[in-house]
Structure 1
């Protein structure tokens, strides 16, 4: 059984991990004024676009998810030939239309794949599962990493489906942003009133940084901490404690809205890396997707891991 794994480009995985494991991307396109870039998880291109455009006009950027027809064409063009079963794992459907687009495309794909496969010499059936990861960015990546681990361990399609569906509801994503004014401007542009002017102004004036928690499709603040460095250190310390307590999968994913050399100098990060190593947990770090950066701002940190229900403690 040839099993394929598909993610959208908001999934914060290192490019080398994507290449090594043959993960297929559904690119999300970002348009800022006249500048347009399809995000293929190319860190150099992402950072170049960040420095040239995001800081100035990112709050008014337009993000364009792969359409129903584009997803259909990708599957019928290559994936129904290369694989027998595909798991397509998307960013939470509460924040993007890409999950609904993939679901709509799946009906056409399953109706139209037979002649394509037969022409390529495959007479066996093709199947796919569209899975809502119920999370964002680094947290979205945790489910994809587990899919790779399961596939490489020889798990059956049924075992993978059951495990991934169960896991998606138990992944926790955390984020600290640098600029609340940017976050508010972006939210306002998208019609999201979750970050009010008063809270943005107060937070910026007092240098208060909220820690946001993504879980089961919802995102909400769980702490307010003075100072960005202090906030990320407390987040890294908390993550390290959850690692020591034992996670549901041996993976922590971290993404940063800028150069990874900056991430590695943030307070608490080296200690988190040591804690993961001591507990045989893989720490995957990546530049945040372009989609992520235009939505939450330059210099944001996101962390994802699978764990039982818990409360954040600073």
Structure 2
């Protein structure tokens, strides 16, 4: 039984990890200054994106989910004949239409796949499930990595679905936005009022950098610092302490909206690396994809791990 995992472009994972595990990436359309890009998480294109400065002030950037028909065509062409069971994990439905569009595309695929498989001489039936990850960016990447471990355990379809949903509720995410004003403007254009104008103003006027922490997208500010580096240090301290205390899956996912040179200079990163190595944890370090970076803004950081209930302050 061939089981395949599909993620979308909001899912941040290292390129080599995705290539090694043959993950299929469902693209997202990005529009920057009236130019259209298709974000397929190509590492060369992503690096060029950061070096170009396209997200700096003065540039208008938006993302758009592939349409139902576009997703349907991709599933029929790339997925139906390659796998017997396909799981599509999308960015949280509260932040994107990807889940809705992928679900509608799945329904039409399930009604038409037999003709395609028969024409290709592929025996047997095909089944598919679209899952709302309830995560963003690094959190979605962590769920994908854990799902691959579950697939290797040869679980039944129902057991696999139940384990994915259960684990998703145990993912804790830290987000450090570099520019609250950028996030507020993006949220305003989407009609998302989760970032208030007052908070954005304070962040801009006083150079406040918050740490937003919580399960999935249900995060709240747990620290307000006057320095981005101090905020990063707090998150690295948290992750290092949580790794040493034990995790529910042997991964920590960390994505950063910056060049690799800037990533390697992040304070506390090497300390987290050492802790992961000592505990047998794989640090999934990646450049934030174009989709993620447009959402959070350049220079932002997102970290996710799976653990028992705890507070951010427990590891400071």
- TM tier relative to shorter chain: over 0.9
Are 1:255 and 2:255 counterparts? Answer: yes
Could you tell me which runs of 5 or more consecutive residues in structure 2 were left unpaired when the two chains were aligned. Answer: none
What residue in structure 2 maps to residue 281 of structure 1?
Answer: 281
RMSD of the alignment, in Å?
1.6
- What CA distance in whole angstroms lies between the structure 1 residues aligned with 2:162 and 2:40? 29
What residue in structure 1 maps to residue 301 of structure 2?
Answer: 301
Are 1:211 and 2:217 counterparts? Answer: no
What residue in structure 2 maps to residue 44 of structure 1?
Answer: 44
- What CA distance in whole angstroms lies between the structure 2 residues aligned with 1:78 and 1:229? 43
C-alpha deviations, 1:165-197, integer Å up to 9, x for none? 211111112110111222222222222222223
The answer to whether the 8 Å contact 1:232/1:268 transfers is yes
The answer to whether the 8 Å contact 2:90/2:130 transfers is yes
C-alpha deviations, 1:56-100, integer Å up to 9, x for none? 445x32211121111111111131111000010010111011011
- What CA distance in whole angstroms lies between the structure 1 residues aligned with 2:8 and 2:292? 12
- What CA distance in whole angstroms lies between the structure 2 residues aligned with 1:181 and 1:67? 30
Matches within 5 A, 1:1-314: 1-50=1-50, 51-58=52-59, 60-313=60-313, 314=316
Q: TM-score, normalised by structure 2?
A: 0.94
Could you tell me which runs of 5 or more consecutive residues in structure 1 were left unpaired when the two chains were aligned. Answer: none
By how many angstroms is 1:215 displaced? 2.3
Larger deviation: 254-263 or 188-197?
188-197
- What CA distance in whole angstroms lies between the structure 2 residues aligned with 1:276 and 1:75? 36
Q: TM-score, normalised by structure 1?
A: 0.94
- What CA distance in whole angstroms lies between the structure 2 residues aligned with 1:107 and 1:57? 41
- What CA distance in whole angstroms lies between the structure 1 residues aligned with 2:57 and 2:217? 29
- What CA distance in whole angstroms lies between the structure 1 residues aligned with 2:190 and 2:207? 25
